[in-house]
Amino acid sequence: MGLAEWFQEFCNNIQVKDGVTISIRYKNITRRLNTDFWNTASDTSHSLYVGSYGRNTAIQGFSDLDMVFELPSFLYHQYDAYVVNGQSALLQAVRSSMQHTYSTSSVGADGQVIVVSFQDGITFEVVPVFINQAGSYTYPNANNGGKWYTTNPRPEIQAIRERNAACNGNLIPLCRMIRSWKQKWSVPISGLLVDTLAYQFIEYYEYRDKSFLYYDFMCRDFFKWMSEQNESQEYWKAPGSGQYVYGKGLFQYKAKRCYNIALEAVAHENATPKQEWSAKQKWRDIFGTTFPD
């Protein structure tokens, strides 16, 4: 097995395997909410996967699945007219609807979302939203007396999809591999910031359209690029939407450490004779046990 096969197997290992189960739950939630709020039994209308799963950058073992559900606009005016925290009342109404389907699950309003926790460790976080004319969403936040906020996930999903296609399908695997690094190294970085940085990096990267054979270079060079990000920078702009993505902490030091480990891995690959076992151990030091031994 050569280097290209290592990275191909690694990418297969971290791909989400629970798609059928996730789809069934997503459709059950959608059908329940459509029944109560739209008078239809559709299991697809008015809902959308968002977050990492919506952008197709989630990896196997992820815990939180984000989805939005569009409500009729008259409900916004109804709950906005509340004297005290109509946002909380709206979340409770959606929570009550979902409990008809998931009465034995853990369902609770958590400030901005309705949470449904399943025994296999996957948690659905459902955000009730109202669609705006420009295609963005208004959503409730029940904290601090209640407010309305805006989010715009569709352009983010589309931007990732388009750049992935323009880069020979290499952006999404890069996002997923860096998530494995994030987990292995406990890096203080959000999934959206991972995707944002990968999106920016790969745009002009010299090997952006190459095959798995170049994934060692791509990971090495991305770690170097990450390590050189300004440590005083507070936010980056998300792909497509341009929304601010705030940092959670400094990721540059751990990126630099793994850049140095990646240099060692590449050196083992190019040694004469090749030191393949040693190279793979270095990649496993970076990505964990999902990288083939």
The domain that holds 116 is classified in CATH as: 3.30.460.90
Residue 3 lies in a domain: no
What pLDDT, on the 0 to 100 scale, is given for residue 1? 73
Q: Are residues 115 and 232 in the same domain?
A: no
* Coil, helix or strand at residue 117: strand
Q: Are residues 139 and 195 in the same domain?
A: no
Mean pLDDT of 21-33: 96
At 102, the pLDDT band (50, 70, 90 cuts) reads: confident
193/278 same-domain check: yes
Tell me, what's the pLDDT at 112?
A: 87
The pLDDT of residue 111: 84
Residue 41 has pLDDT above 90, yes or no: yes
> Is it the case that residue 250 has pLDDT exceeding 90?
yes
Domain count, the chain: 2
* 5 inside domain: no
Instruction: Look at residues 83, 117, 151 and tell me which one is the last residue of a structural domain.
Output: 151
Does 37 share its domain with 67? yes
Q: Is the pLDDT of residue 35 over 70?
A: yes
pLDDT, greater one: 105 or 77: 77
Q: Which of 151, 182, 200 is the last residue of a domain?
A: 151
> Residue 4: inside a domain, yes or no?
no
Percent of the chain's residues with pLDDT above 90:
89
Residue 269: its pLDDT value, please?
95
Q: Are residues 276 and 162 located together in one domain of the fold?
A: yes
Q: Which of 41-45, 113-117, 183-187, 279-283 has the lowest mean pLDDT?
A: 113-117
pLDDT class of 50 with cuts at 50, 70, 90: very high
Q: Where does the pLDDT of residue 257 fall: very low under 50, low under 70, confident under 90, or very high at 90 and above?
A: very high
- Listing DSSP states for 20-86 in one string gives HHHHHHHHHHHHHHHHHHTS---SSTTEEEEHHHHHT---TT--EEEEEEEPPHHHHHHHHT-SS-H
Which letter does DSSP use for residue 6 in this model?
A: H
In a domain, 2, yes or no: no
Domain check: are 147 and 160 in the same one? no
Q: pLDDT value at position 277?
A: 97
pLDDT at 290: 97
Residue 260's H or E segment, with its range, is helix 252-270
Position 67 confidence tier, pLDDT thresholds 50, 70, 90:
very high
- Tens of pLDDT, residues 130-181: 999 989 999 999 988 899 999 999 999 999 999 999 999 999 999 999 999 9
Same domain for 162 and 143: no
pLDDT digits (tens, 9 = 90+) for 195-211: 999 999 999 999 999 99
Same domain, 174 and 116: no
Residues 67/26, Cβ–Cβ less than 8 Å: yes
- 127, 139 Cβ separation under 8 angstroms: yes
Taking residues 231-250, report their average pLDDT: 96
Domain boundary among 151, 176, 206: 151
For residue 214, give the DSSP letter: G
Strand 64-70 versus strand 123-131 pairing type: parallel
Q: What is the pTM of this model?
A: 0.94
Residue burial 230-243, b: 16+ Cβ < 10 Å; e: rest: eeeeeebebbbbeb
In this model, does residue 218 exceed pLDDT 80?
A: yes
**Does 104 have pLDDT greater than 70?**
no
| pLDDT at 106 exceeding the cut of 90 | no
Q: Where are the alpha helices (DSSP H) in 112-190?
A: 153-166, 171-185
Token pair in block for residue 60? 């196997």
Q: What is the mean pLDDT of residues 265-291?
A: 97
Tell me, yes or no, whether 117 and 211 share the same domain.
no
Domain that holds residue 164: 155-287
Q: Mean of the pLDDT values across residues 261-276?
A: 97
Same domain, 143 and 26: yes
